[in-house]
Amino acid sequence: MVYSFPEEQYLKEKAHALRTGLFFRLEEFVDDFPTGSPGKLIDILKRILTAASDSIEAASDKRILILVYNAVHTLSEALDWLDNAHVSQTPRGLADFLDRIASMLAPSSMVLVAPSSKYNYSITDLVPWLTHFAQILVPPASQGSILSQLPQNLYLIQFPRIERENVLGHAVFGHEFGHPIAARFLQNYIATTEGQTHAHEAAREIAVVFQTELSALPPLGQMKAKMRHFQVVSQIHKRAIEELVSDAVGVFLFGPSALFALSDLFCQTELDQLPERGNYYYPPSRFRLREMHSLLEENGHLKALNELPGRGGAPLVSDAARSVLEYIGHLIADDLDRKNIGDEPHVSIAYRWVNKCLHAGHQYAQSEVGTLLYTVELATREISPLIDRLKMELPPSEIGIWPDETNADWRSAILSAWVMKFHQATNAGLGSSERRKKVVDTQRLALKGVEYCLLRDLYKKSLSPREEGYK
């Protein structure tokens, strides 16, 4: 049908209107952010949108204009993250410690922390996303100057908004930082001879376990069926390794705090749910707790916590730590998850495959964590004195007495607060509102402690040699 309406011109104007709409919304972000990363993201997005103007003008095909329009539309998702990344929604201490982890695990990376209305902890690298849209929206001649502004990684880290004050629960982020590490491990593992061997062994198991079904099929049907079964098994295996290696990273970064944070999270879920498509093949929660518990036992953290000394009226606090470990021990002693795994053929094949490579995954994770490893020696040295500080209603950030005080590790600040929280939350000698107040105070002191630990560390590193003598 022929019509005189200048459709392409009209679409160009729509694309421009959407582009400038997003540009001006970005200009409206005037609130303070806890770190420089939101500002960096805003800057990059504005550059892309500015350059997109030329692309829109140069477009001569309606399909390109629709592509550009949809690309700008998708870019506007960033407004949601930025809306809540400002300081009244994102505590500075949280942004600081996440930044610290990111910069040590992935130097030249940046972190954008934003709460989400969804109850989910997640980490996503925005650099591939931004690169993709820069390549659609920016003329080729200008792409280099914009892409060179991108950091190596720009991690969008989201947490449930209603958990903003639950600083101790944020130890879950150790797991989130584990995902890129787990992904690299899987990529490397699959390419190795060992990885290929394990995959073939799984394929042979499939042929045996599903023999009855397969033998009833013609040869082509058998091949298709085997591939289908293998696909399911490898998806279950992949997801298990992703989650379990990520959990291991959490343990290496945060020690027992990672276990406590995850067990808190799991108390609201079913512990023995079988990995299946409906739940994205996640390992049973009980299985994950057991693996983390086993790692902590191996590296001595559980023994150290169980042997926390009481001091002068303090035995109740350390008793709470022992009691929680006993409770978790009781949880993981229940075997229902393993029974469920064993009863389902795809899952049991996949988990035998997991057992063959998980140890290598743990070793890889530990080597990637490197010097950020939270050692049992550090915990043994610091947890008790930091608990003493919390009892005095002081931030758990220093060990010792002035002028010989030393800076604590910020992970110890979190772990000592966990132990204190268990004691306060279960203290039958307090009324319920007093228990709640004490737990809230401990959370705030923990956050302050983390901020102070990171500040002192940075301050000390920045001192020039001639000023060293003063501290």
Which residues lie near another protein (CB under 8 A)? 32, 34-36, 87-88, 92, 388, 392-395, 397-398, 401-403, 405, 441, 444-445, 447-448, 452, 455-456, 459, 470-471
CB of 60 to another protein, least distance (A): 46
Q: Least distance to another protein from the beta carbon of 32, Å? A: 5
What is the smallest separation between the CB atom of 456 and another protein, expressed in angstroms?
Answer: 5
**Which CB atom, from 5 or from 402, has the smaller least distance to another protein?**
402
Token pair for 1: 């049908």
Query: Is the Cβ of residue 200 or residue 437 nearer to another protein in the bound state?
Result: 437
The token pair that represents 35 in the structure block: 């770190």
Exposed/middle/buried for 147, CB within 10 Å: 0-12, 13-18, 19+?
Answer: middle
Helix axes 37-58, 126-137, angle to 10 degrees: 20
Give the nearest distance from C-beta 454 to another protein in angstroms: 11
Count other Cβ atoms within 10 Å, centred on residue 58: 10
Phi, psi of 417 (to 5 degrees): -70, -35
Residue 79 neighbours by CB under 8 Å, 6+ apart: 22, 25, 26
CB of 370 to another protein, least distance (A): 26
CB of 371 to another protein, least distance (A): 23
283/396 with CB nearer another protein: 396
| Short-list 189, 249, 246, 245, CA closest to 369 | 249
CB 157 within 8 A of CB 111: yes
Nearer to another protein, 234 or 442 (CB): 442
CB of 458 to another protein, least distance (A): 8
Cα 347 to Cα 208: distance, rounded to the nearest angstrom = 15
In angstroms, the CA 291 to CA 244 distance is 8
Sheet holding 153-160, edge to edge: 109-116, 153-160, 122-125
Q: Which is nearer to another protein, 333 or 392 (CB)?
A: 392
- Which residue's CB is nearer to another protein, number 92 or number 322? 92
Compare residues 43 and 213 and give the one whose CB is closer to another protein: 43
